[in-house]
Chain A
Amino acid sequence: MEPLAIITFLAAVLAATWRLATPFIFTSLGEVFSERAGVLNIGLEGVMLIGAFTAFAVTFFTGNPVWGLVAAMTGGLTCGLLFALLTVSLKANQIVVGAAFNLVGLGLTSFLYRSVFSGRMETAREYHSFSPIEIPLLSRLPFFGEILFRQNIMVYATPFVVLAGAFLLYRTAFGLSVRSTGEHPRTVDSAGLRVGVIRYASVLIGCALAAVGGAYLTVAHTNQFNEGITSGRGFIALAVVVIGRWSPWGAFFVSLLFGFFYALQLRLQAVSGITIPYQFLQALPYLLTLVVFVTLRKRAAPPSALGVPYKSS
Chain B
Amino acid sequence: MSETIIKLENMVKTFSGTVANRGVSLEIRKGEIHCLLGENGAGKTVLMSIVYGLYQPDSGRIIYRGEPIVLRSPKDAIKRGIGMVHQHFMLVPTLTVSENIILGQYPPWKILRQMDKVETRIEKLSREFGLKIDPKAPVHRLSVGEQQRVEILKALYQGVDLLILDEPTAVLTPQESAALLHFLKEMAGRGLTVIFITHKLEEVMQVSDRVTVLRDGRKVETVDTAEVNPRKLANLMVGREVLLEQPPKTGAEGEEVLSVKDLSIDDERGLPAVKGVSFSVKSGEIVGIAGVSGNGQSELALGLTGLASIASGEFRLCGKIANDLTPRELSHLGLAHVPEDRHKMGVVLPFSIAENFILHDFDSPPFAKNGFLRTGTITAHANEMVGRYDVRLSGVEQQIAQLSGGNQQKVVIARELHRNPRLLLVNEPTRGIDIGATEFVRRQIAAQRDTGSAVLLISSDLEELFALSDRLLIFYEGRIVGETPARKELIEEIGLLMAGKSMETNSVTK
Residues of A participating in the B interface, judged by any CB pair closer than 8 Å? 171-174, 176-177, 179-180, 183-184, 186-194, 304, 312-313
Q: How far is the CA of A177 from the CA of B107 in the complex (A)?
A: 10
Given A183-B94, A187-B91, A171 and B112 contact (CB-CB distance below 8 Å) = yes
Q: How far is the CB of A310 from chain B (nearest CB, A)?
A: 14
Residues of A within 8 A of B74 (CB): 189-192
Chain B residues 37 to 67 lying within 8 A of chain A, measured CB to CB, are: 52-55
Chain B residues 102 to 141 lying within 8 A of chain A, measured CB to CB, are: 102-113
Q: How far is the CA of A186 from the CA of B109 in the complex (A)?
A: 22
Residues of A within 8 A of B54 (CB): 189-190, 312
Q: How far is the CA of A177 from the CA of B104 in the complex (A)?
A: 7
Which among A174, A180, A189, A193 is the interface contact of B95 at CB below 8 angstroms?
A180
Residues of B within 8 A of A190 (CB): 52, 54, 74, 84, 86, 90
Query: Shortest 8 CB-CB distances between A and B: which pairs?
Result: A192-B75, A191-B104, A174-B108, A187-B90, A192-B74, A173-B106, A173-B110, A190-B90
Given A187-B103, A188-B103, A190-B90, A177 and B95 contact (CB-CB distance below 8 Å) = no
B92:A172 contact, CB within 8 angstroms: no
Chain B residues 230 to 255 lying within 8 A of chain A, measured CB to CB, are: none
Asked if B78 is at the interface (CB within 8 A of a chain A CB), the reply is yes
Given A180-B103, A187-B103, A192 and B112 contact (CB-CB distance below 8 Å) = no
Which among A173, A180, A183, A313 is the interface contact of B112 at CB below 8 angstroms?
A173
Query: Can you report 26 A-B residue pairs in the complex whose CB atoms are below 8 A from each other?
Result: A171-B113, A172-B109, A172-B112, A173-B109, A173-B112, A176-B95, A176-B99, A176-B103, A177-B108, A179-B94, A180-B92, A180-B103, A183-B95, A184-B92, A186-B90, A187-B90, A187-B91, A189-B54, A190-B54, A190-B90, A191-B103, A191-B105, A192-B78, A193-B75, A193-B104, A312-B54
Q: How far is the CB of B411 from chain A (nearest CB, A)?
A: 26
Q: How far is the CA of A177 from the CA of B92 in the complex (A)?
A: 10
Q: How far is the CA of A180 from the CA of B95 in the complex (A)?
A: 8
B94:A177 contact, CB within 8 angstroms: no
Q: Chain A: interface secondary structure?
A: helix
Residues of A within 8 A of B99 (CB): 176
Residues of B within 8 A of A184 (CB): 90-93
Residues of B within 8 A of A171 (CB): 111-113
Q: How far is the CA of A173 from the CA of B114 in the complex (A)?
A: 12
Residues of B within 8 A of A192 (CB): 53, 73-78, 104
Residue in chain B with minimal CB distance to A191: B104
B109:A188 contact, CB within 8 angstroms: no
Given A184-B92, A187-B90, A172 and B111 contact (CB-CB distance below 8 Å) = yes
Chain B residues 201 to 222 lying within 8 A of chain A, measured CB to CB, are: none
Q: How far is the CA of A180 from the CA of B94 in the complex (A)?
A: 8
B95:A179 contact, CB within 8 angstroms: yes
Q: How far is the CA of A263 from the CA of B103 in the complex (A)?
A: 43
Residues of A within 8 A of B105 (CB): 173, 191
Q: How far is the CA of A241 from the CA of B70 in the complex (A)?
A: 43
Residues of B within 8 A of A189 (CB): 54, 74
Q: How far is the CA of A120 from the CA of B93 in the complex (A)?
A: 57
Residue in chain B with minimal CB distance to A198: B108
Residue in chain A with minimal CB distance to B154: A191
Chain B residues 243 to 295 lying within 8 A of chain A, measured CB to CB, are: none
Given A172-B112, A192-B74, A187 and B107 contact (CB-CB distance below 8 Å) = no
Q: How far is the CA of A174 from the CA of B105 in the complex (A)?
A: 11
Residues of B within 8 A of A191 (CB): 74, 78, 90, 103-105
Q: How far is the CB of B92 from chain A (nearest CB, A)?
A: 5
Residues of A within 8 A of B86 (CB): 190
Q: How far is the CB of B100 from chain A (nearest CB, A)?
A: 8
Q: How far is the CB of B67 from chain A (nearest CB, A)?
A: 21
Which of A171, A190, A194, A304 is the most central at the interface, judged by chain B CB atoms within 10 Å of its CB?
A: A190
Q: How far is the CA of A177 from the CA of B95 in the complex (A)?
A: 11
Q: How far is the CA of A186 from the CA of B108 in the complex (A)?
A: 18
Q: Known pairs A173-B102, A184-B92; list 9 more (Cβ under 8 Å).
A: A171-B111, A172-B109, A172-B112, A173-B107, A176-B112, A187-B91, A190-B84, A192-B104, A193-B103
